[in-house]
Amino acid sequence: MKAPPFAYHDPRSVEELTGLLGTLENVRILAGGQSLMPMLNMRYSMPDHVVDINRIADLDYVRRVEGGLRIGAMTRQRTLERDPLVAQYAPVLVEALHWVGHVQTRSRGTFGGSLCHLDPASEQPCVAALFDATLHVAGARGERDVSIHDWVLGYMTPAIEPDEALVGITLRTWDGPHGYGFEEFARRHGDYAIVAAGALVALDGAGKISRAAISIAGVDVKPIRLTEAETMLTGGPADAGAIAAAAEVARGLECMSDAQISGDYRRRLATTLTRRALDKAVKRARG
């Protein structure tokens, strides 16, 4: 099918964009188009106006900021994969992006688009949750910040008003050396995950775990931080027993079911993938 008719707008600045969003009704923002174009063609989305933000150069950047890494909403997934600052401060994002679609889709798809599309099985919100990301939203009323933990209001529904746009994301990257791991199970490489798990681990001078973060995608409408397991690990040994015990926390998760995949299967995947992601993170933390 072809997309329904709509008026096309291509603002060149964030001011022009927020001006349009403040005046137009029934608008969709076009970023990489990797999810929106199929939704238009299948008539899941029937906007009167499409606002293409590809020509807003100010939305495409990766910058080191105090306490983290700020990424422009229009930064392509492929750009992030090859960015030296991301490699240095958030290598787990690079590892996660290798699971996202294909080179062709990553060359168009954007980090901001993924965080607005909010597929529950997407790797990118999962990494954003791992880093306690802040999302920067702009509209006619000005800018506001939303924590990733408040960003998902429901199934594929971000906490953003129709007259607002996501303009940037700040990942609260970790200071000092740490290990990372991202593991996923999908039916075919390039498909969305059935379940994915990311982990960050820092070790102290005695080899004990000084800090841990675990985030799981595909089990709920939003990425789930396994805070109980993080607390269990912190201050303890970085050995196989501790990792296995922490991963067992995932077995208690309330997981969604659908026609193909049961909640029980998702729970088993979450447990195994958490263990593998933690194992990788500990090995990397040891150097």
Ligand X SMILES: Cc1cc2nc3c(=O)[nH]c(=O)nc-3n(C[C@H](O)[C@H](O)[C@H](O)COP(=O)(O)OP(=O)(O)OC[C@H]3O[C@@H](n4cnc5c(N)ncnc54)[C@H](O)[C@@H]3O)c2cc1C
Q: Which residues lie near ligand X (CB under 6 A)?
A: 28-36, 73, 100-101, 105, 109-110, 112-114, 116-117, 119, 122-124, 160, 165-166, 190-192
> Whose Cβ is closer to ligand X: residue 89's or residue 111's?
111
Tokens of 123: 């790797």
Residues 223, 65: Cα–Cα separation, whole Å: 24
Cβ proximity to ligand X: between 4 and 177 the closer is 4
Q: How many other C-beta atoms are found inside a 10 Å radius of the C-beta of residue 48?
A: 13
As measured in angstroms, the least distance from the Cβ of 150 to ligand X is: 16
Starting at the edge strand that comes first in sequence, how are the strands of the sheet with 142-147 ordered? 62-65, 68-72, 164-171, 134-139, 142-147
Least separation in angstroms between CB 151 and ligand X:
12
Of 66 and 188, nearer to ligand X (C-beta) is 188
Cβ 257 to ligand X, closest distance in Å? 21
Choice between 222 and 284, CB closer to ligand X: 222
Full DSSP string of 95-128: HHHTTSS-HHHHHH-BHHHHHHH--TT-HHHHHH
Q: Which is nearer to ligand X, 114 or 210 (CB)?
A: 114
Residue written as token pair 């096309």: 8
C-beta closer to ligand X: residue 33 or 181 = 33
Strand order of the β-sheet with 7-9 is 7-9, 49-52, 27-30
**Closest approach of Cβ 218 to ligand X, in Å?**
10
Q: How far is the CB of 41 from ligand X (least distance, A)?
A: 12
* Distance separating alpha carbons of residues 230 and 132, to the nearest angstrom: 14
CA-wise closest residue to 8 among 33, 44, 42, 35: 33
Q: Which two tokens stand for residue 218?
A: 């595909």
Task: Give whichever of 156 and 232 is closer to ligand X, judged by the CB atom.
Answer: 156
**Smallest distance from ligand X to CB 99, Å:** 6
C-alpha span between 27 and 8 (Å, rounded) = 10
Q: How far is the CB of 276 from ligand X (least distance, A)?
A: 18
Which 3 state secondary structure label does DSSP give 186?
coil
Give the ranges where the chain is alpha helix by DSSP (H).
Answer: 14-23, 36-41, 77-81, 84-89, 91-97, 103-108, 111-117, 123-130, 148-151, 227-233, 240-247, 263-285
